């Protein structure tokens, strides 16, 4: 199993490739699924509301590859100051729902936070359709 700090380093490295010409707020995510690593970055387009977050970008890469269960995800907001509060570096609401649906058992590492999270921590009472 890849270590927490190693996966956070991969997420920080991915964030360098963020495409965010409007916000200049670079985010990277790194996912472990079926033992393989997938990365994602935030991608902004001229119609701002259609922006894709780094977390969903990484989850889409893993799912698109037919990867096994997602067991770990690391998120890095590399433009957030080190002393900024946690809410300036945690996944947005849309990404939490993606995590609830696609990675319900993953551990979530947030760069700059000593605490690890589950999706139940971040999105209690998440919506879900019957299986
Ligand atoms: N962003 C992410 O990539 N992940 C999040 O969970 C929060 C926000 C991106 C979207 C946008 O490109 C930029 O950060 C500023 O909101």
* In contact, 99 and 123? CB cutoff 8 Å: yes
- Burial grade of 106 (CB within 10 A; 0-12, 13-18, 19 or more): buried
Q: Which of 6, 44, 55, 115 is catalytic?
A: 55
Nearest to 70 by CA among 110, 111, 98: 98
Instruction: pLDDT tens for the chain, 131 residues: list them.
Output: 679 999 999 999 999 999 999 999 999 999 999 999 999 999 999 999 999 999 999 999 999 999 999 999 999 999 999 999 999 999 999 999 999 999 999 999 999 999 999 999 999 999 999 98
- The verdict on the CB of residue 18 being under 6 Å from ligand 1 is no
Annotation says 55 is catalytic: yes
Q: Which atom of ligand 1 is nearest to the CA of 94?
A: 6
Q: Whose CA is nearest to atom 9 of ligand 1?
A: 53
Task: Give the tokens for residue 47.
Answer: 């119609």
């Amino acid at each position: 199993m890849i270590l927490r700090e190693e996966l956070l380093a991969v997420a920080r490295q991915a964030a360098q490739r963020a495409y965010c010409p409007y916000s200049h707020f670079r985010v990277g995510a790194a996912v472990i699924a079926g033992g393989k690593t997938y990365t994602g970055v935030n991608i902004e387009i001229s119609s701002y509301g259609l922006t894709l977050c780094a977390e969903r970008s990484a989850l889409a890469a893993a799912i698109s590859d037919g990867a096994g269960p997602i067991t770990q995800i690391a998120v890095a907001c590399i433009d957030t100051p080190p002393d900024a509060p946690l809410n300036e570096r945690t996944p947005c609401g849309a990404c939490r729902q993606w995590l609830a649906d696609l990675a319900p058992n993953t551990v979530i590492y947030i760069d700059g936070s000593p605490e690890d999270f589950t999706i139940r921590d971040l999105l209690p009472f998440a919506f879900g359709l019957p299986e």
